[in-house]
Structure formats: structure tokens, C-alpha cells
Structure 1
Amino acid sequence: MLPIRGSLSLVLPAYNEAENLEAVVRRSLEVLPSLVEAFEIVIVDDGSRDGTGEIAERLARDDPRVRVVHHPVNRGYGAALRSGFAAAQGDLIMFMDADQQFDPADLAHLAPFVPHADIVAGYRVRRRDPWQRLVYAAIFNVAMRLLFGIAVRDIDCAFKVLRGDLVRAIDLRMNGALVNTELLAKAQRAGATIVEVGVRHYPRLSGEPSGGSLRVILRAMREVAQLWWQLLWYQPPRGVGRGRPQPRSSQVMRAVVLVTLVLSASWWLVRRFFQGNR
């Protein structure tokens, strides 16, 4: 018996990954038959300008298990994932970046937990990124934990397996990099159970990363405010999670605590400043 029963859709969002995409797809086609009963690979070309779309089409012609979704213009990481999720037909949906920083064979580490959890989220055991991105990631994870109560150590790790019906029931709207936060926050509100498993992470050898650019960071900051307001009124689907739904009141309480802490710290700093100038 194979480790994972049923069908799986592997979604690969790709933006200007001409130097990496074919290797990622070939590796996936090599290892997935030994891990899952049936699978498809859904490549989402997010308005690439380097030939990624043409490579994706050739790979789809070579193997019927590969399908391609095209965005005429670059719409963002979240939009690419949402298009891939919409096209996915599997009982399970997995997504992974197409930059060769993950090995699809590590799905074997997640496989034992797939039957028992709604989301099996990878976390990078040793993240192989520049130190600046590691600092951004650490600050981001703490901030998202405080704002949205996401109890996951590596929110943006692009190596996750999700129940297909859960993904299709959640109303995802973020177009940018905050889509992982939105996915986990809304899943928790719906009572989804989440298990974390360590996976390997490799240095990017080809192509240019976009996740740490100033434009992406500013977009993410704007989306944080949008997501917080959206979640305040979000009505999660019922009966799609195995666990206890997270109430809306928990978000309000976290906000009250954060505002209180910020105001208290500001008041303390102001008092110290004026006392020091007397």
C-alpha cells in the first residue's frame, strides 16, 4: 500500500522560474508515484516573462499528469495559489514553490500524518536563505502569531498538504505573500487541525527570489490590515475541520491586549523622556 491513499494535486506557483521549473516537475514525476495512488501537477505561470510558460506547456504536452494555468500578467503569489487551488481536482492539495528549494520526496515525511490532520504543514529545519530574509521571517512569524493566533513556527513554508474540501470551502482573497497567513488563520477559524513536520530546505541556485523585495514587503503590510479587518467579519464554513473552531472573540481579545501593551510601553517611554529632561 502506498503511503497516501486517494488522489493528490501538486500546485506549483511559478514566476520567472525558467531555470528551475523543469527540474522541479521532473523530480515530482519521479517521486510521486511511490507516495500517492494518483496525482496531477498543476503549474501556475504567474505572468512570467522568461519563458516559464512555454516550458510549462512543453512539460504538459510530454505528460498528461501535468496541467498548466496561465496568468496574462503577474498577479502575485496568493493569486497564483488560488488559481492552482481552483484548478486542482485531487482529494488532497499540496503546494510547493518551483524554485528547487524543496524536494518533493520529503512528502514521505508528511505522509503518516495526512490521514489524521486537516493540514500537514512543513517547517524548514534549517532555512537556507540570506540572513536578511531570516530576520524578516522571524519578525513576521511573531507578528502573525500575535495578531492572528497562528500557532505555526514557519507560516510561509511553501510545503503543505491540505484536505481538498477544506481548501475549496475557505474563501481565500489575498493576492500577495500573505496568503499563507490567510489560509492558516481561516482554517483555524473553521476548526482545522494542523500538524507540523520538519522538511529540508536548499539554497536557491538559479533565478531571482521575489519574496524579500521591498514591493512584496509593503504589499504584505497593507494586506495584514486588510486581513485583520476581513477576519473580524469572516464566517467560517461549518463541519470542514476536525477540531474546535477558533471564535471571533479571540481575535478581538488579542487586539485589545496588543493595543494595551503598545500604549503602556509608549506611556512609559514618554514618562522616562520627560523625567530625564527635568
Structure 2
Amino acid sequence: MHSTPSFSGKVATDEPAPKLTQSLSIVLPAHNEEQVIATTVTYILETLSPWVNDFEIVVVNDGSKDRTGEILQALSEQDQRVRVITHPVNQGYGAALVSGFNAANKDLTFFMDSDGQFDIREISLFFPFIDQYDAVLGYRIDRQDTWMRKLNAWGWKQLIRLVLGVHVRDVDCAFKVYRTAFIHQSNFETRGAMINAEMLYKLKRAGYSFKEIGVHHLPRRTGQATGAHPRVILRAFRELFYYARKWRLQEKERRRRV
């Protein structure tokens, strides 16, 4: 069987191309990703073109200080399926996702990091389950992070289970598909690293179903991760406890009225 190498170092086979009947918005938050953003966007365009008849890529340039914005502008001029949203200053991961979600206008909304640590081809693993579930959630196989980041992630997952009652294998895996109707009706309130936990909590609270699928996590090739920065962690804890209390009070009020 003939095979060709991909940008991730893995190989693609000549298997029949999967098909998605629904339209798809791909949201990519980007902050100082000049070394990889063109490769990521181009690879998504090339991969999805034979699989999805109607899709768009919404890239949110979250206050980048390098050439990310310039590169994205050129990509959007070359292909109308690429849309760019620009935050003049860095607002945080959650804020970037929310801006992308608000702009998404297709049937389904998928989001992924733009740093090359996921292979967009693995979205095809989700296709058989999209009609059966309200969301399909990736979890990282062989996570390519330091032991400290893995430990922090484990502790965060336990805390989210305890405080919000959310039980998933990988809270913050940036490889998930939701129905856009859910995205638009949910009024997401957090703007930092808490955003994934909020999405999952509101999915659970609304009674929606989900399927979890393992996806490969690739080594970071360029740039520097910011998720373990003390400022990011502190903001996540602050948002968690503030909104958990707010949402509990809302739930009590809703049950009282019922």
C-alpha cells in the first residue's frame, strides 16, 4: 500500500476518504505562532477539502507580537474559507475561543490548538459518532508534556470532578467537536484556561450526550507553552471558584421555580 508522509511525521494511507455531511467551523486560537501557523492552516485546508463540502477556518490572533497576524492576513486573501479575528492585545485562551465560537456559522464547531501538537486527520475518527452524540471529545494519547504539566492536569481534572461534577478523561484536550447550536446558546462566561471545564459543565447541565475518542498528542515543534504560567493557573482557579458558586446558585433558583 502506498503511503505519504505528513507534516506531523506520521504517514497517511490510501484509504477511502471519510465524508462529513454537515458543515464545519474550525476554530484555531493563535498567539505568537509565526513559525507554524501557515503549515497548520494549509494542512487543514488540504486535508478537509475532500472530506467536507462546506467548512471554514476561523483563526483568532490573540494579541500576537510576531508575524502571526501578517501571515494570517495573506492566508485569508488566498482562500476565502480562512477567516481571521484579531485581538489587539492578548486576552487569554478562553477569550480567543469565545471570539471564534461567536463567529462560527456552520452546523458543527471543532476547535484545535494551532501549534501542531494534533493531526487534523484524526478528526475523521469522530465522523461516525457525530450523528449519534451531541459532542465528540478527544483525549490525548501519550501526552507529550513534562511530568509537572501532567501532574497539574491530573490535579485539575480531580478538582473539576469534585467542584463541577464533570467526569471526562481529558478536560483540556484541545480537539473537540460540538454542535454550533449548543455553542451559541451557552453564553460562555470564562475567558481563561477554565473555558473547557465550563463548556463540559454546561454540556452536562443541559443533558447532552458525548463520546470520547483517543487522539495522538505530538511533540511541540516550535514556540513555548503558556498553560503552566502561574498567572494562567491563578486565573483558572479564580474563575473556577467564582463561577462554580454562581452556577450553583442559578441551579438552586431554577429548581426552586420548577
Query: Same fold by TM-score, threshold 0.5 exceeded?
Result: yes
Shift of 1:150: 0.9
Pick closer, same or farther for the CA change 1:248–1:119 going to 2, 3 Å. farther
Contact preservation (8 Å) 2:28, 2:113: yes
Work out whether 1:139 is the aligned partner of 2:161.
Answer: no
- The two structures, once aligned, show a CA RMSD in angstroms of 1.6
What's the counterpart of residue 23 of structure 2?
A: 7
Instruction: Give the corresponding residue for 2:90.
Output: 74
Distance verdict in 2 for CA 1:234–1:160, change over 3 Å: farther
Matched, 1:111 2:124: no
Which of 42, 57, 62 is the aligned partner of 1:26? 42
With 142-151 and 76-85 compared, the bigger mean Cα shift is at: 142-151
- Aligned twin of 2:179: 163
Q: 1:152 aligns with which of 168, 187, 209?
A: 168
Partners in 2 of 1:75 and 1:155 — Cα distance?
21
Q: Equivalent residues in 2 for 1:49-198 (5 A)?
A: 49-198=65-214
C-alpha distance in 2 between matches for 1:17 and 1:227: 31
Using the TM superposition, give the Cα deviation of residue 206 of structure 1 relative to its aligned residue in structure 2, in angstroms: 0.2
Q: How does 1:202-217 map to 2 (within 5 A)?
A: 202-217=218-233
Larger Rg: 1
* Unmatched segments (≥5 aa) in structure 2: 1-16
Alignment of 1:235-250 (within 5 A): none
Inter-partner Cα distance in structure 1 for 2:133 and 2:155: 27
Are the equivalent residues in 2 in contact too, given 1:123–1:196 (CA < 8 A)?
A: yes
Q: CA deviation at 1:2?
A: 5.0
Q: Which residue of 1 aligns with 2:11?
A: none
Distance 2:124 2:244 in 1: 35
- The whole-number CA distance in structure 2 between the counterparts of 1:143 and 1:76 is 21
Q: Secondary structure at the match of 1:4?
A: coil
Q: For each residue in 1:7-32, what CA deviation from the matched residue of structure 2 results, as whole angstroms up to 9, or x when unmatched? A: 10000001111111111101101111
Alignment counterpart, residue 220 of structure 1, candidates 229, 233, 236: 236
Q: Report matched runs for 1:239-278 at 5 Å.
A: none
Which whole-Å CA distance do the structure 1 matches of 2:127 and 2:222 have between them? 29
Instruction: Name the one with the larger helix percent.
Output: 1
* Code of the aligned partner of 1:20: V
% identity of equivalent residues: 45
Structure 2 counterpart SS, 1:202: coil
Query: 1:146, CA displacement in angstroms?
Result: 1.4
Please report the TM-score for the alignment, with normalisation by the length of structure 2.
0.89
Structure 2 CA distance for partners of 1:25 and 1:232, relative to 1, 3 Å: same
Separation in structure 1 between the aligned mates of residue 246 and residue 203 of structure 2, nearest angstrom: 14
Secondary structure, aligned partner of 1:34: coil
- Change in CA separation of 1:28 and 1:232 when aligned onto 2, cut-off 3 Å: same
Q: 2:18, 2:124 within 8 Å by CA — same for their partners in 1? A: no
Q: Deviations over 1:124-146 (max 9, x none)?
A: 01101111110100111111111
Report the TM-score when normalising by structure 1: 0.83
Q: Report deviation, 1:37.
A: 2.4
CA distance in 2, matches of 1:89, 1:130: 37
1:9 and 1:225, CA in 2 relative to 1: closer, same or farther beyond 3 A?
A: same
